[in-house]
Every structure is written in C-alpha cells, then in structure tokens.
C-alpha cells in the first residue's frame, strides 16, 4: 500500500516537472522587445487622442515617419504599433493565438520594410533618389524564424 502512494506521488511530481511555461520558449531578446512594444502599444490610444486634440508628435516605424498622427501615415503607423502591442501582450500572457499573430506581425513588418527601402525611394523624389537600407528586416527575420520554430511547442502547451 505504501508503495502505491509513492507511485501516485511520483506521477504527480512528474506531471508538475514536465509542465513548462510558454514564456520560457521565448529568448531574452524577444522578451526585451515584448516590453518595448507593450509600452508603445499602450501609448497609441493616448497619442491618437492627443492627435484629435490638435497636438503633433513624431511617429516612426519601419522607415516610415510622420509628425501628424491624424493622417493616413499616422493612423497606419499607429495600427502597426497597436498590432505589435497586442502581439507582445499575447506572447507575454501566453495566449494560444500569440504565435500566429506574431508570425503575421513579422510578415507585415517585412513587407513594410521592403516598401520603405525599395519602393518609396522610387515614388518619393522630394529628396532625390535615396536608397535607405534598414536593420529591422534582420531582426524581423530572426523573430519570424524563432516564432516558426516554437509554434508547435507553443500550441502543444
């Protein structure tokens, strides 16, 4: 009888040891960016309200920038930052949908960076032809690859 108690105890202990948090699948650099984008995402609604009140401030992401928050560029950048904030929230709180949204976020970011680097210089000739290489695509590719790598483990948890 004593032996069966220990078996039950050991099986519960094994279950507890095998359960890992999804957050542990994320490397340190992703955790750092999660906090940055959580803060940026929280600021977006405040910025939009300030923009409606007539204030102007600088918004910049992926090579696009504006000083007018209530404009096509400003709202697009605000939505992109908000998506990054929601993704960061989902990853930090270990939501089921977080990795899928993160992959979407990375792809959208890569498309935006390619547009900013290679399409905008051909369209906007106000400063002459300036090809602008950005470092964000390198981080976005690393982010995308890491999310694809952990996707099956994340969804299995």
Establish if 111 belongs to a structural domain.
yes
Establish if 68 belongs to a structural domain.
yes
Establish if 121 belongs to a structural domain.
yes
Confidence class for position 132, pLDDT limits 50, 70, 90? confident
Closest CA to 88 of 109, 104, 102: 102
Q: How many domains, the chain?
A: 1
Establish if 149 belongs to a structural domain.
yes
Establish if 125 belongs to a structural domain.
yes
Confidence class for position 116, pLDDT limits 50, 70, 90? confident
pTM higher than 0.85 for the full model? no
Q: Return the higher-pLDDT residue of 21 and 13.
A: 21
Establish if 62 belongs to a structural domain.
yes
- Average pLDDT over the chain reads 86
Establish if 6 belongs to a structural domain.
no
Is pLDDT of 44 > 60? Answer: yes
Range(s) of the domain holding residue 71: 22-156
Concatenating the DSSP letter of every residue in 57-97 gives --EEETTEEES-SSSHHHHHHHHHHHHHHHHHHHHHTT-TT
Establish if 55 belongs to a structural domain.
yes
The sign of the dihedral angle between the CA atoms of 107, 111, 116, 117 is positive
């Amino acid at each position: 009888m004593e032996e069966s108690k220990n078996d039950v105890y050991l099986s519960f202990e094994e279950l507890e040891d095998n359960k890992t948090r999804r957050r542990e699948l994320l490397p340190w650099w992703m955790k750092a960016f999660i906090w940055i984008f959580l803060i940026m995402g929280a600021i977006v609604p405040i910025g939009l309200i300030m923009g409606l009140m007539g204030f102007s401030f600088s918004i910049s992401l992926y090579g696009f920038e504006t000083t007018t928050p209530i404009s096509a560029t400003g709202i697009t950048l605000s939505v992109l930052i908000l998506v990054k904030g929601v993704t960061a929230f989902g990853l930090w709180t270990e939501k089921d949908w977080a990795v899928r949204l993160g992959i979407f976020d990375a792809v959208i970011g890569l498309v935006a960076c390619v547009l900013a680097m290679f399409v905008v210089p051909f369209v906007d000739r106000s400063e002459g032809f300036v090809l602008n290489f950005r470092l964000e695509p390198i981080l976005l590719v690393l982010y995308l690859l890491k999310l694809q790598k952990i996707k099956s483990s994340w969804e299995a948890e």
